[in-house]
């Protein structure tokens, strides 16, 4: 049996006619830049997120960068970020001329640890970027309290978490802005790059709209330095077809996650650490990520059995060569470094079949049956 990490083919076939009809409508109308499809998606995603404004941009990385600029982050400012995340989170900070200040994670959720944030705040701190990793929102209430105390912006990196909730609150409701990615692998993915920023702040929204078109308002009159970063009309047309299915797909992901957890506990007990879900969170499982001893050996074995898997993220950002001048060293963020050494993401997509999941778990169990973990290694892992 083959079990890919991600398979978009079944989803595409089910929506093919609607997608082609949308593209035909756009091309026959010849409105390709910031047209009606972009406007509709901005309105729908903002409403879905309980926000007043949506600003479509070229990709999720630009969404972070433009959010920072819209919130007034400038050269020499500091922005608090987790180290256990995709590079774009800290890369956007550096592109804005600011300095990323890395903070450790909660080892259970892999999200930024609110208890570690306040010690990182200085007079130069202007914002916090909590990343809602793997589809579960960070612990936002204490983060919001710290931000209010120190007059900091909160930019929620929700690239992996559209549709997730925290204590009944949507992404963006406790932040200044929130950013989405529509990269093809995301829970709501296009057929190319795309991104969006949501906010309830009208002034910030308008600033970001100006930034995405070279800082121009009206056209050809430039009062600020902006960028060419617009959500493509064709991508918006595709996303408008897919968007009504998002909640159904999120529920399917949650069902697949529950099956994985049940099977892994049954077959492997405590040898595999399954995802921890806070009781008050609605986790949309962009990834189903486990911790295992001997991750490298297991991943190689799974590949031989036709099973895809991924490691997100093998080298934390605070140890990346590009940030070496910031002076971080191994041991500075111990929970981040442990997670980077141990996590492995299993195949996850709404159309995943139970028999595929059973095969994945059977092969994980087979690997550890053939390669038992000795007592000292198991204690070290725990």
Q: Which residues are catalytic?
A: 186
Q: How many CB atoms lie within 10 A of CB 359?
A: 18
Phi then psi dihedrals of residue 185, to 5 deg: -85, -10
SS3 273: strand
- Which residue, 287, 40, 279, 42, is CA-closest to 165? 279
- Which residue, 157, 171, 151, 178, is CA-closest to 77? 151
Q: Which two tokens stand for residue 209?
A: 């709209």
DSSP 8-state class, residue 262: H
Distances from the Cα of 50 to the Cαs of 63, 65, 158, 183, 356, in angstroms? 18, 22, 14, 22, 36
Helices (H), 30-59: 36-48
Q: Which two tokens stand for residue 175?
A: 């932040």
Q: Which two tokens stand for residue 163?
A: 């549709």
Complete edge-to-edge strand list for the sheet that includes strand 78-82: 53-57, 195-199, 177-181, 153-157, 125-128, 78-82, 99-103
Report the distance separating Cα 366 and Cα 10, nearest Å. Answer: 29
Q: Which two tokens stand for residue 119?
A: 């010690």
Contacts of 323 (CB under 8 A, 6+ apart): 90, 94, 100, 317
Report the distance separating Cα 121 and Cα 69, nearest Å. Answer: 19
Report the distance separating Cα 91 and Cα 86, nearest Å. Answer: 9
Report the distance separating Cα 6 and Cα 366, nearest Å. Answer: 23
Complete edge-to-edge strand list for the sheet that includes strand 165-166: 169-170, 165-166, 281-282
């Amino acid at each position: 049996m083959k079990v890919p990490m991600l398979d978009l083919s079944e989803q595409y076939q089910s929506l093919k006619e609607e997608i082609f009809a949308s593209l035909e409508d756009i091309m026959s109308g010849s409105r390709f830049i910031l047209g009606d499809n972009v406007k509709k998606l901005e309105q729908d995603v903002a409403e879905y997120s309980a926000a007043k404004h949506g600003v479509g941009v070229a990709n999720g990385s630009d969404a972070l960068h433009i959010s920072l600029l819209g919130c007034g982050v400038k050269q020499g400012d500091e922005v608090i970020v987790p180290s256990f995340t995709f590079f774009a989170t800290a890369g956007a900070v550096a592109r804005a001329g600011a300095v990323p200040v890395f903070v450790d994670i909660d080892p259970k959720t892999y999200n930024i640890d609110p208890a570690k944030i306040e010690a990182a705040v200085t007079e130069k701190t202007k914002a916090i970027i909590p990343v809602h990793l793997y589809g579960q929102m960070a612990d936002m209430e204490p983060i919001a309290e710290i931000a209010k105390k120190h007059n900091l912006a909160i930019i929620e990196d929700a690239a992996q978490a559209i549709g997730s909730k925290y204590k009944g609150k949507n992404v963006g409701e406790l932040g200044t802005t929130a950013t989405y990615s529509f990269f093809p692998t995301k829970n709501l993915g296009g057929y190319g790059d795309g991104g969006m920023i949501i906010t309830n702040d009208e002034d910030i929204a308008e600033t970001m709209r100006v930034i995405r078109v070279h800082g121009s308002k009206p056209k050809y009159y430039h009062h600020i330095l902006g960028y060419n970063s617009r959500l493509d009309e064709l991508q918006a047309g595709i996303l408008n077809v897919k968007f009504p299915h998002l909640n159904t797909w999120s529920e399917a992901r949650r069902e697949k996650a529950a099956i994985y957890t049940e099977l892994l506990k049954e077959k492997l007990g405590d040898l595999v650490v399954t995802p921890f879900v806070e009781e008050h969170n609605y986790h949309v499982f962009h990834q189903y990520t486990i911790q295992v001893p001997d991750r490298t050996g297991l991943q190689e074995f799974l590949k031989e059995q036709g099973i895809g898997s991924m490691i997100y993220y093998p080298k934390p950002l605070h140890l990346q060569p590009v940030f070496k001048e910031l002076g971080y060293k191994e041991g500075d963020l111990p929970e981040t470094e442990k997670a980077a050494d141990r996590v492995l993401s299993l195949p996850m997509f709404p159309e995943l079949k139970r028999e595929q999941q059973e095969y994945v778990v059977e092969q994980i169990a087979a690997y550890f049956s053939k390669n038992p973990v000795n007592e000292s290694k198991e204690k070290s892992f725990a």
